[in-house]
Amino acid sequence: MKHQRIAVGLILIITLISILMYSSLEINNYDPDIKYIIKNFEDFNNTRISFRGFIEKVDSTNKTLIISTPQITYNMEIKIDTVFDTIQKGNIVEILGVLKKNDQVDAVKILVIEKWKSDLIIFRSLPAIPFALYLFFRKWHFNSKNFRFERRID
């Protein structure tokens, strides 16, 4: 009985590892990231892609944005139809567009998130931390003998 459990456990672990390896090798065929798309540009030319980045430069005369993304080392040029007043350097943008050249995208949809709104999420969540800790320690306490949390008995 004990040997059967060990054998079943080993088979399950080997199966899990093989599924994880297969998934990691095949992920770029089904859900590629921007780094993989830029490396294999020929396969993705004139296809819709989406990515996120920071605005480095706004050129309102040519209606282009220069975007830097954390995944790739150089900036991408994004062609847009209109330049909005809210688009400024440092804002975060999410772009859905058509890849034209290795570093050029024609934008179909642009979502602009102002930098201060992105940072505000962190500051808004700070008051919730003491409240969550209070609720947790109201029901649980730490037992140093067993080195674990135990439910309070009231």
Round to whole Å and give the CA distance between 38 and 32: 10
Q: Kindly state the average pLDDT of the residues 118-138.
A: 88
Q: Per residue in 88-98, pLDDT tens?
A: 787 888 888 88
* pLDDT reading at 38 higher than 90: no
Q: Which residue has the higher pLDDT, 72 or 94?
A: 94
Q: Topology of domain 34-113, per CATH?
A: OB fold (Dihydrolipoamide Acetyltransferase, E2P) (2.40.50)
pLDDT of residue 30: 74
Distances (CA, A) of 48 to 76, 103, 104, 110, 118: 15, 14, 12, 13, 26
Cα-based distances in Å from 20 to 10, 16, 24, 25, 152: 15, 6, 6, 9, 40
Confidence of residue 137 (pLDDT cuts 50, 70, 90): very high
Q: What angle do CA 88, 72, 17 make, to 5 degrees?
A: 130
- Residue of higher predicted confidence among 122 and 154: 122
Q: What is the pLDDT of residues 9-28, one digit of tens each?
A: 999 999 999 999 998 888 76
Domain ranges of the chain: 1-31, 34-113, 118-151
Give yes or no for residue 102 having a pLDDT over 70. no
Report DSSP letters for 74-119, one per residue. SEEEEE-S---TT--TT-EEEEEEEEEETTEEEEEEEEEE-HHHHH
Written as six digits, the tokens of 37 are 């798309």
Higher pLDDT, 144 or 76: 144
Distance in angstroms (rounded) separating the CA atoms of residues 33 and 50? 9
**pLDDT for residue 83:** 62
